[in-house]
Structure 1
Amino acid sequence: MASNFAINEITDEFLVCQVCLEDFKQPKMLPCLHTFCQLCLEKLLAAELDGKLACPTCRQDVALPQNGVQGLKSNFLVGKLHDILQQQAKEDGEASDPREIGVTCAVCDKGNAAEFYCVECTDHMCQTCNGVHRRLKITRSHKVVTIQELQSGQASTELPASETFRCEDHNELNKFYCDTCHRVICLHCVVTAHKDHQYVELEEAAEREKAKIKGKLSTVQNTAGWHEKWIQQLQSVRDEWPSQVQRTEEQIANQTQAIIEAVEKMKNDRISQLRAMNAAREAQLETAMEAAEVDLASARSRIQHMDDVLEYGSPSEVLSAAGELTEWTEQNTDERPEMTKDFITLTVVPPVCQVNVEQKVAKLMGGIRQTRVPILLKTVGKKGSGDTEFNWPTSLAVTTDGNIVVTDRDNKRLQFLDKDGSSKKIDLSFYPLCVAVLTNGELLVTGDGHSIRVLDRHGRREEHIIQVAGATDIKATTRGVAVDRFGRIIVTIGTQMFVISPSGDIIRKFEEKGQGQQQSALHVTVNSSNQIIVSNMRNNYLKIYDPAGRHLFTTGSFGWGPGQLNYPADVITDSEDNMLVADSVNHRVSLFSEDGVFIRHVLTQEKHGLNFPMGLAMHDGQLVVSDRHSIKFFRI
């Protein structure tokens, strides 16, 4: 039963047309290697208004030969595999009767059981169709075997003929291969159109091509392996995305909650302030009301007294009361403005300008930054001293020819990596530390005392040596090197930086002593404004200088957290003047903005397998990184 299961699986995958979902009839193979029935392809082509055919499976456009679908290559392997499976079924005792194994006539549409097989047409036929097949002039010479012969293996010697199709010009079996025209030919072709050509027997040509296929197959297998690794990377990216979304949602929720809490606190503060101000004005009002009530009582008492005097008083009492009333009136005629002048109305103060609250909140919330996920495209090299083997590659540069040049330090050489993946090595007499490219294509190599070696663009010939005069540290060698937009050379020796003309004249020099340390290992680059960016390996920071050597600002500090550095090596800038630094001992590449604000870790050991990254270069939109013993290419 297990054998039968395997046969069924192969039949479904390889022997069934994915258009009609039946066994192949006259199988035709497209350039994309998908196979379909000839009739199915013809029907699909007829249904296309533009007269163009696309593969039903992968949707690739198909370039048809002059005679249309019929001119496509026949997939004889399908027919042979079909016959092998039938033979296997018989050997397993599954069935010998064609009706039991379900093989029907491929010529008629009556569903009759197939009893014969035409080796040259690769069709199964019923008894009736076989009779017609033998009577037709065009097919009467075809080799026909019974299904029983096919299943028993008696016709196996005839089957190779099904793969050797006939000549389109002479209808003879193709037995030769023309090396001049690169096509299979028959004997008639040999003595006519191809008589002056180079040709060999078909089997010999096939063996020769098999050897070529085997030789190229390893390249295809390597490509397949690379694609498998790429799929694994893509899968790891996919696996990371749900947690990434969750973390981002949590950050949004936390930011929202912080804003809500801040707004709630502000609301409570404003309400408390309002209530305190209201309590103060109510106390003021209460005092005013108490004073008014005292004055009212006094006035009413005075009125009652005057009424009594007017009604019952003597003339002398009336005169006395009149004087008292005049005096009282003069003293109590004011409206006590001091009690009410400080009364206030409480309202919300509107903003100075009209504010869209939603926009303000959106600004407080921030946005969702989209950054491209770095994908490892390929890794070149391993530890060693052979071709494309490295021993501490410390620096990278892109030549004017578009190749990558690597300072293979402990192997005392440069290595060039071409676009096609090949390499070339140039031996040196010293340990090269850094490399840069002049505008004329010449290479600048540091590490040889107080000098810069200038090589031709291919590294084959030494053009001249630039001696850097005025260095105070006699033990230090030239290290960091860069070329600015004006073609001037910036090179470091110890704690000093020199700006040099291409001819070797020193334009200026300045010193970077670090924080309490006299010795420094400095890497250097420039941005589009010719600002000089220095990576201080031993003091763990980046310093930025203007073109005149004046210090502008410093960013970074020792540590492992965001924005911190541990033995930073090479530093480069991107198209927006952001700074990328190889944070070697932290095994990562970090990104800082033009003004020194930490943005993110672009590459890490955990996600991208970095191991002591030292050199960086941007090449055709890719970030190239040299780590301990290899060169890695990332799409970012």
Structure 2
Amino acid sequence: MASSSPQTVLVDDYKELLICIICFGTLTDPKSITCGHSFCKGCIGKWMREHKAKGNNRYPCPVCNERLEIPKNGADAYGTNITIKSMVEILENQLTKGQNRNVNCDICIQEGEAVPAMSRCVECAEHMCKPCNKAHRRSRATQSHTIYDLTGDAEKDARAALDNYIKRNIECPKHPDQPLRFFCKQDKAVICRDCSITEHPGHNCQAIEEAAKGEERNIAALLGLATQRKEMFDKFIQAANDSIQSCERNTQALLQDIDADHAAKKKQLDEHFDKLRNKAKAAANEKKKKIQANQDQFQLNKGITESTLLQLNNLRKYNHPVDVLNYSANVLKKLEEWSTMPEENVVPIDPYFYQLGSLDTSSAGKVQHHCDPKISRKVHLPDQNPGVKYIFGITRGFNNNIVVSHSGKGLATYTADSFTLQHKAQGNFNDVCRIQSQYYAAADQNNDCIAVFDKKLEHQKNIGKFEDPQGLCETADGKLLVVGYDAKCVYLIDCNHGNVLATIGEGKLTSPHYVTINHKGIIFVSDVSDNCVKRFTMQGEEAPGAYGSEGAGIGQLNYPEGVCIDSQDNLIIADHNNHRVHMVDPNGTFIKYLLVAEDDVKKPQCVAIDQQGDLIVGSYYGDLAIIKYIE
């Protein structure tokens, strides 16, 4: 099995090559299996026997998992990896020697003489003193060996041995003292001179240096491919890491939303039960007041009765007949009044009772997740509303309707389920959106203003004055964002009179078309000339994280148009000329396509979210599609 080696910086430099992945020790008698990976002979032999014992005739490589056939001779069938074996020997030998300050000549030590070594032969793996070195170089058998001088630094000497390894002669296992010099092309074998004469006569043999150069081209090509694969896997790993971090951020945001909703619902629940408690206490107090009033009256009447009773007893016992006769009128009156006994006048209790309720969680919040997007409904609106052609703007309407801007053909509302035409308004409008929970605002191209309509598309008023108004979006506090195409900016206006409250993106937009805003107040503007969606704060500052560049790949856009924000603050973009719809997370990272060219919704122009959280996509050519992407 594997043996341990000194844990030094030098060994660490080569440990990926010299460590057996099975036993995690330094390779011993390393065998290279068919896929090219090397293991200790004992380790890979045991690995194959374990799989064979399970009735398998193949075994997986412990590194790459490639399934290889188990050879009859087991590990002996594989060739020894001479390079790795030699490296192990060089390192362990040199570093072990280096533990002693004085490295002695291996030849002299056999004669019992401790002579300091001055050099080392790579082939013989022997340290030599100066005289032995001289003799070694003169000997016919060893004069071609590679010898290098020792510095006295074990690590430097070991590195020198490794650097000189490529120059060493490797002896033929069949003919000792004969170096391997040739490569037999016919038998694909490295051979010595004697082998070429005795076992490979007449075969096409070439010098190993020449044959190796031919293989170097393949090695260089494979090295290039390996480098490319590594770079690709680095990108994949980084992308996976980015996805993990995005998932963690999403999860934290999700948990925060759940906790916030839980706290809000708990507050509502506490308020509800506090009202029940207060109501029960108020009812009980009211009843107790009535009973207490009766009790006070009873106490008063009792006192009157007791006073009368005391007078009557005194009258009978001590009073003169004259007093009795003078009091007789009062006695007769009381006899008449008191002949009827008083009634209790009980205040009915009518006890309250508590009716247990059930907590209906069906209307409570729920966690939603993205599913594979699919078109649940689709219609060509000119079939429903003859004469219209284009769709330039869409918004979620009232009463589960969809409101569509047909550019020069005005506005129209359609039912969300069957796309039945309901109401129409004449005019030339770009985008449309809901405002103030009861009106629609439309970008009036003819009058360069914002036209306001009621739920039945009856015109109410015009507000503001803008240079070619395009996209529209209402803010959380009831204001309106208006894209001024010619002014190359976005206006923040009030919805009552159209007064401009702020100008956003001035000098930083080229061809702005559509606008939306997320729950954190970040404004997104599609810029068709720059093929991106830019981000701005409500204070008008450009925020980092603009999405898109020109092209057709992931994260690239070709004439981006409509934008909207979904319930999870994801940005949705109509990639007009690529016939796609992108979904991007709040940090500007691409998530997925919600629509692709194969879905046959050509030139997506505008996007919006309906009451169910599904995506509405309107195309330039009049197609309207409902895409379910959240469950």
- TM-score w.r.t. length of structure 2: 0.45
